[in-house]
Structure 1
Amino acid sequence: MRKDIFPSVKEALPVVVLTALFLLLTAVCIGLRTEHLLMTGLFLILFFAGKTTRKLAVALLPFIIFGISYDWMRVYPNYEVNPIDVQGLYEAEKSLFGISIDGTRLIPCEYFAQNHCMIGDFFAGIFYLCWVPVPIAFGLWLYLKGERKVYLRFAMVFLLVNLIGFAGYYIHPAAPPWYAMNYGFEPVLNTPGNVAGLGRFDELLGCSVFHSIYGRNANVFAAVPSLHAAYMVVAVAYAIMGRCKKWLIALFSVIMAGIWWTAVYSGHHYLIDVMLGISCALLGVLVFEQGLMKWGAFKRFFERYSRYIG
């Protein structure tokens, strides 16, 4: 019984050391916040509470690494690596997808800023709230259903897609459409996050959901690629590969298309961003399934990982 409840020293020591190192480096580099302590505490509770919860804690590591990676981009912002693109992306969008209205050529985001409706505002908010929760809920559902290998493939690809997207942020720092629409083409560092068109959802329901989310955005110059557009592509891909029910695949497809539309309708992303986000997701799936999973060393690591959480 004791052996089933408590992890071995070989398991526990790396966890304790890495957790302490994470908290120390976070405190020094970006400052500890409440969510860091909550996340760390929850992970340790799951890891040490018993064998079943320990498997779950280890299974969640790809999502935890994603969160840490995103947070740690504060240490060295992308705009300190490469110049910020504000006007170039705006002009490219206008050239490729511009809409002519009364002799004036507008980008799609500008058109929707002038032409929106209550129903559109409501569904835009609903779709965008599905951005991260639905993929994570899908992953947990796969895990709890016992589809551990499908879950692990999905979770690892989710992480890989994020890392590809984060690399894109540093390769090509770019302002979102709402920035060009509100501030012009001169990049101003430390510009606060903006709810843009999603603020209409908050106004409609008399809440501050999106204001609370975007008010915490540490860097607004990370619009390319749109990871909002990427996540549900990964979910749909593994719902299909995992042979999920057709209604679930259909639901995910609707949410996926809804998020793509909302990204532009709300002024948060150009169509170019959305297409690059979709490409990022497809690249991640391809690299993982046709590259990493055919590499012997990684394949053996994957099998050991899946057995541990199985």
Structure 2
Amino acid sequence: MPRRRTALIGLGAYLVATVLLFAFTGVLVARESIFLWLLVGLLAVSLADVRGFARGVIFDWLPFYLILVAYDLLRGYVGANPLFPPYFLPQIDADRLLFGGTVPTVWLQERLYRVGELPWYDVASWAVYMTHYFAVFAVAACLWRVSRLRFLEFRAMVITLSVAAFATYALVPAAPPWMANDHHLIGEVARIPGSVWTELGIAPAASIWDKGTSLYNPVAALPSLHAAFPMLLLCFFWRGGAVVRGLAAAYVLAMAWTLVYGGEHYAFDVLLGWAYAIAVFLSVRWIRRRLGERRARARAAAGAGLADAPGSTAATRRATAGSSGASGSSTAPGSTSRSGGRSVRCRSRAPGR
């Protein structure tokens, strides 16, 4: 069976299994569950090259997974054992400064949110919010199938962005709007994604580790990784054409709306997440470009060294040319030598003439 047909059959079976999995166990949100199911999908489309799939799991995906699991563990630990008390007011003041004295989350919920009701835009916001848990990894899987080099670059960006965000969470823990509402620092704010979970009656799938919310850090809000990852996708696929660029930009804006309206983040958190994503994208691209230039110079130097080595073809050719030039410089009068491909008659002047 041709590889393409095998991959299509495997993909179809995987999609059917995914629908059944979500129907019977709930939506996957735990990172280890998502990674495991993602690898099942990659195996399904790699049945014609199982050995290559195994190499990819060991050298490409396992390091990726372990680094992000370490990020989850450290984020949860810092959440349970904070280095500093969480900040509440700076984000609120920043939003009021940016939006004329108004906190956008409070303003939007006062006009759109209705307790006990489930309008379409709440469901849409919940759906966009849920993509955070798998969108980046689904894109990484597609890149791995198409171009391993692009996958490695994207992986480096995701890891760098996560590490930068964690460092900020540890040093500057920041409370989200729903927590500020609990402390009566702003107007009424509901956590809309959570309420939609309840209204829809959909349960998240249990974590394989059965950790529940022990890895959860409620004050890991600044910057917003929910906002940063869509912006990273926009930057990464910016040259993919107008359609791809437009879809990525729409995703960025949809996630921003979801986070602010849903009470999960301030607008300032979102803007800072965008800034982090752009900075990481440009930094990783610059570093990879410099490393590529350095490797190119090293290869060129190695090639020149081989060319100058004794016994090499180029060295022999230069030595032959040098000996020919030396012999030509002492050509006897009356003899014929070659210069530039032409025969030159060397004449001698007789004494006295």
**Short-chain TM bin:** 0.5 to 0.7
**Equivalent residue for 1:172?**
172
SS in 2 for 1:75: helix
- Aligned equivalents of 1:78 and 1:299: distance in 2? 44
Contact kept? 2:84, 2:172, Cα under 8 Å: yes
Contact kept? 2:64, 2:155, Cα under 8 Å: yes
Say yes or no: does 1:153 pair with 2:153. Answer: yes
* Matches for 1:128-277 after TM superposition, within 5 Å: 128-145=129-146, 147-184=147-184, 196-209=191-204, 216=213, 218-241=216-239, 243=240, 246-277=242-273
- Aligned equivalents of 1:79 and 1:98: distance in 2? 36
Sort the Cα spacing of 1:115 and 1:207 in 2 relative to 1 into closer, same or farther, 3 A.
farther
Say yes or no: does 1:84 pair with 2:117. Answer: no
SS in 2 for 1:277: helix
Query: How far is 1:73 from its partner?
Result: 2.7
Sort the Cα spacing of 1:299 and 1:167 in 2 relative to 1 into closer, same or farther, 3 A.
farther
Query: How far is 1:127 from its partner?
Result: 0.8
Query: How far is 1:195 from its partner?
Result: 7.9
Contact kept? 1:198, 1:266, Cα under 8 Å: yes
Contact kept? 1:202, 1:210, Cα under 8 Å: no
For residues 7-66 of structure 1, the C-alpha deviation after alignment (integer angstroms, 9 at most, x for no partner) is xxxxxxxxxxxxxxxxxxxxxxxxxxx9879979x99xx9xx844322233212234412
Query: How far is 1:78 from its partner?
Result: 8.2
Letter in 1 for 2:227: A
- Aligned equivalents of 2:142 and 2:133: distance in 1? 14
SS in 2 for 1:275: helix
Q: TM-score, normalised by structure 2?
A: 0.60
**Equivalent residue for 1:122?**
123
- Aligned equivalents of 2:205 and 2:265: distance in 1? 16
For residues 175-207 of structure 1, the C-alpha deviation after alignment (integer angstroms, 9 at most, x for no partner) is 00110112335xxxxxxxx98111342244232
Contact kept? 1:112, 1:265, Cα under 8 Å: yes
CA-atom RMSD in angstroms: 3.5
Aligned residues: 244
- Aligned equivalents of 2:282 and 2:31: distance in 1? 33
Sort the Cα spacing of 1:65 and 1:142 in 2 relative to 1 into closer, same or farther, 3 A.
same
Sort the Cα spacing of 1:205 and 1:36 in 2 relative to 1 into closer, same or farther, 3 A.
closer
> Which 10-residue stretch deviates more, 168-177 or 55-64?
55-64
**Equivalent residue for 1:53?**
54
Letter in 2 for 1:53: A
Contact kept? 1:169, 1:224, Cα under 8 Å: yes
Structure 2: segments with no counterpart, 5+ residues = 1-29, 44-49, 114-118, 297-353
Contact kept? 1:82, 1:172, Cα under 8 Å: yes
SS in 2 for 1:224: coil
**Equivalent residue for 2:74?**
72
For residues 77-113 of structure 1, the C-alpha deviation after alignment (integer angstroms, 9 at most, x for no partner) is 48632332112322332233256xxxxxx41111222
Flag the structure with larger Rg: 2
Sort the Cα spacing of 1:195 and 1:115 in 2 relative to 1 into closer, same or farther, 3 A.
closer
Identity of aligned residues (%): 23
Contact kept? 1:161, 1:284, Cα under 8 Å: yes
- Aligned equivalents of 1:162 and 1:292: distance in 2? 18
Query: How far is 1:134 from its partner?
Result: 1.4
Sort the Cα spacing of 1:297 and 1:280 in 2 relative to 1 into closer, same or farther, 3 A.
same
SS in 2 for 1:80: coil
Sort the Cα spacing of 1:139 and 1:38 in 2 relative to 1 into closer, same or farther, 3 A.
closer
Query: How far is 1:250 from its partner?
Result: 2.7
Q: TM-score, normalised by structure 1?
A: 0.67
Structure 1: segments with no counterpart, 5+ residues = 1-33, 100-105, 186-193, 301-310
Letter in 2 for 1:258: A
Query: How far is 1:285 from its partner?
Result: 0.7
- Aligned equivalents of 2:155 and 2:244: distance in 1? 18
Query: How far is 1:260 from its partner?
Result: 0.9
Contact kept? 2:230, 2:252, Cα under 8 Å: yes
